[in-house]
Amino acid sequence: MSSRTVIRGGLVVTASDEIHADVLIEDGRIAALAASGTPAAGAFSAARVIDATGKYVIPGGVDAHTHMELPFGGTFASDTFETGTRAAAWGGTTTIVDFAVQSVGHTLREGLDTWHAKAEGNCAIDYAFHMIVSDVNEETLKEMDLLVEEGVTSFKQFMAYPGVFYSDDGQILRAMQRSAGNGGLIMMHAENGIAIDVLVEQALARGESDPRYHGEVRKALLEAEATHRAIRLAQVAGAPLYVVHVSAMEAVAELARARDEGLNVFGETCPQYLFLSTDNLAEPGFEGAKYVCSTPLRPKEHQARLWQGLRTNDLQVVSTDHCPFCFTGQKELGRGDFSRIPNGLPGVENRMDLLHQAVVDGHISRRRWIEIACATPARMFGLYPKKGTIAPGADADVVIYDPHAEQVMSVQSHHMNVDYSAYEGKRVTGRVETVLSRGEPVIDQREYTGHAGHGVYTPRSTCQYLT
Ligand code: URP
Ligand code: ZN
Ligand code: ZN
Ligand code: ZN
């Protein structure tokens, strides 16, 4: 028995089109689209009919950068795969790509197995993995080939965090050379961590211990320098490069220049860099700790360059870098020493709404919203067209979005397992109404109807953005 749903009368928005169409879903996939009101659409029949009149019908969000349960600074990110994927669904995201971690002295396989064990049976929406490579050696390089073959096709390296995740230039070059051969994509945390650690030590010696100094020592120039270095190392290796959580306008300029030279380099930014700033880091008391992440929030003037980059395609993706730590007991670990504040912000639930607000504010078009939040992340990380679009054959990961509803973001109403909202009190226009994951309602008219274990592991092909 096939299960069918039809979504009637909405405006279907994808990265390429806006059409008033009815959408037929069969057995968890998009079966057909037909212009609303035509005989072809009238012939769609289904047990379940969703009226989307006056609403947008959009692909479920693809958040290509999350850290559920990430160990960091002696604690763990506060969202589990269960709570974090439920919150993602509430926010209209139907796929996450989380980062499995290789710890120094361990294999990639051990790290990946650990992350599978954390996620399996717990997710409300589909998930995939990137691999953080912290220990580049002969064995690791061989393992990268195997991981690409089994659907883990991207690898994050860190130019920051010496002694933890850090790789030196030689290790980075080796991993890039390997990825040039096996089709993997290197994702770079581009900050000069060695220089930053010197500035941290000097700031603390001067008694500068408040959260705002986190932003001062992690200088924009040290992001730009590392971005430049990563680009040139990738060029030497003949490998594509994806720079994560770009926040500095000088780093965007490096990406733009490299792209103008014809290099396959790509950039991701995050809502926190588009909507928050060093003003938040400087909030009185210890409030600024809520906004400590790396790369850090920048002065407001950087935001215009990020929006421009998103419009001109010098930046291609907006992910959340969701890495929540509670204020009480977690962010508080850094009272009296900003360098001990666990790095990361909550946001997996807020991304689709904040980017819709960017449409309302005129920063980006509706189709660009879907492109940077759904289609391009799916393409970049080998999930397209299964994910990221509404087209026959695609998974029926579909959001009915009310573009007129008003909401106020708050810890009182969000579903992330964290005791504050980075956007407390922010008014946005637009709200998720219903979310289908492979045709099954996860959010139904603002009621959670999903379940842990519905979400399945989704192996990926290599980057499709290059072809
Ligand atoms: O502050 C951040 N971004 N925490 C998560 C780890 C990372 O570097 O992405
Ligand atoms: Zn990072
Ligand atoms: Zn991250
Ligand atoms: Zn289910």
User: Among all ligands shown, which has an atom nearest to the Cα of 440?
Assistant: 4
Report how far residue 270's alpha carbon sits from residue 458's, in angstroms, rounded to the nearest whole number. Answer: 23
Q: Could you give the dihedral angle defined by the CA atoms of residues 197, 198, 203 and 205, in that order, rounded to the nearest 10 degrees?
A: 110
Closest CA to 303 of 347, 273, 269, 278: 273
Measured in angstroms, how far is the CA atom of residue 387 from the centroid of ligand 4? Answer: 17
What single-letter DSSP state applies at residue 301?
T
DSSP character at residue 60: P
Both tokens assigned to 383: 């999930």
| Cβ contacts of 21 within 8 Å, gap of 6 or more | 10, 12, 33, 34, 35, 36, 41, 57
List residues near ligand 1 (CB under 6 A). Answer: 67, 189, 245, 293-294, 321, 323, 343-344
Number of domains in the chain: 1
Protein residues placing their CB within 5 Å of the ion ligand 4: 440, 454
Residue nearest to ligand 1 atom 3, measured at CA: 294
CA 386: distance to chain centroid?
18
CA of 157 to the centre of ligand 3 (A): 11
Indicate which residue's Cα is closest to atom 7 of ligand 1.
294
The residue segments making up the domain with residue 430 are: 1-467
Task: Report the distance separating Cα 377 and Cα 154, nearest Å.
Answer: 12
Task: Report ipTM for this prediction.
Answer: 0.97
Distance from the CA of 423 to the center of ligand 1, in angstroms? 18
Q: How many CB atoms lie within 10 A of CB 368?
A: 19
Q: Tell me how far CA of residue 193 lies from CA of 156, 236, 251, 339, 368, in angstroms.
A: 15, 22, 15, 12, 33
Q: In this structure, what CATH number is given to the domain that contains residue 325?
A: 3.20.20.140
How far, in Å, from the CA of 384 to the mean position of ligand 3?
Answer: 22
- Distance of alpha carbon 201 from the chain centroid: 31
pLDDT of residue 1: 45
Ligand 1 atom with the smallest distance to the CA of 65 is: 9
Q: Are 238 and 180 contacting, i.e. CB atoms less than 8 angstroms apart?
A: yes
Distance 294 CA to ligand 2 centre (A): 6
Identify the burial level of 107 via C-beta atoms within 10 angstroms of its C-beta, where 0-12 means exposed, 13-18 middle and 19 or more buried: middle
Residue carrying structure tokens 């689209």: 33
pLDDT tens string, the chain, 467 residues long: the values are: 469 999 999 999 999 999 999 999 999 999 999 999 999 999 999 999 999 999 999 999 999 999 999 999 999 999 999 999 999 999 999 999 999 999 999 999 999 999 999 999 999 999 999 999 999 999 999 999 999 999 999 999 999 999 999 999 999 999 999 999 999 999 999 999 999 999 999 999 999 999 999 999 999 999 999 999 999 999 999 999 999 999 999 999 999 999 999 999 999 999 999 999 999 999 999 999 999 999 999 999 999 999 999 999 999 999 999 999 999 999 999 999 999 999 999 999 999 999 999 999 999 999 999 999 999 999 999 999 999 999 999 999 999 999 999 999 999 999 999 999 999 999 999 999 999 999 999 999 999 999 999 999 999 999 999 86
Mutate to test the pocket of ligand 1, among 65, 67, 167 (most ligand atoms within 8 A of CB): 67
Distance between CA atoms of residues 387 and 385, nearest Å: 5
| Residue from 48, 1, 2 nearest 23 by CA | 48
| Contacts with 209 (C-beta within 8 Å, 6 or more apart), sequence order | 203, 336, 337, 338
3-state helix, strand and coil shares in percent for the chain, rounded to the nearest 5: 35, 25, 40
Assess whether the previous peptide bond of 295 is cis (omega < 30° from 0). Answer: yes
87: phi then psi, degrees, rounded to nearest 5 = -65, -40
What's the pLDDT score for residue 466?
84
What is the distance between the alpha carbons of residues 445 and 424, in angstroms, rounded to a whole number? 24
Atom 9 in ligand 1: residue holding the nearest Cα: 321
Q: What is the pLDDT of residue 2?
A: 66
pTM: 0.98
Q: What phi and psi values does residue 151 have, to the nearest 5 degrees?
A: 105, 10
Q: Which residue among 323, 325, 338 is best mutated to probe the pocket of ligand 1, counting the most ligand atoms within 8 A of its Cβ?
A: 323
Residue with tokens 């197995």: 113
Q: What is the distance in A from the centroid of ligand 1 to the CA of 69? A: 12
pLDDT at 89: 99
Cβ–Cβ < 8 Å for 193, 166: yes
Strands 154-158 and 447-448, how do they pair? unpaired
Per this entry, what is the length of the chain? 467
Nearest ligand 1 atom to alpha carbon 293? 1
Atom of ligand 1 nearest to the CA of 294: 1
State the distance from the centre of ligand 3 to the C-alpha of 67, rounded, in angstroms: 6
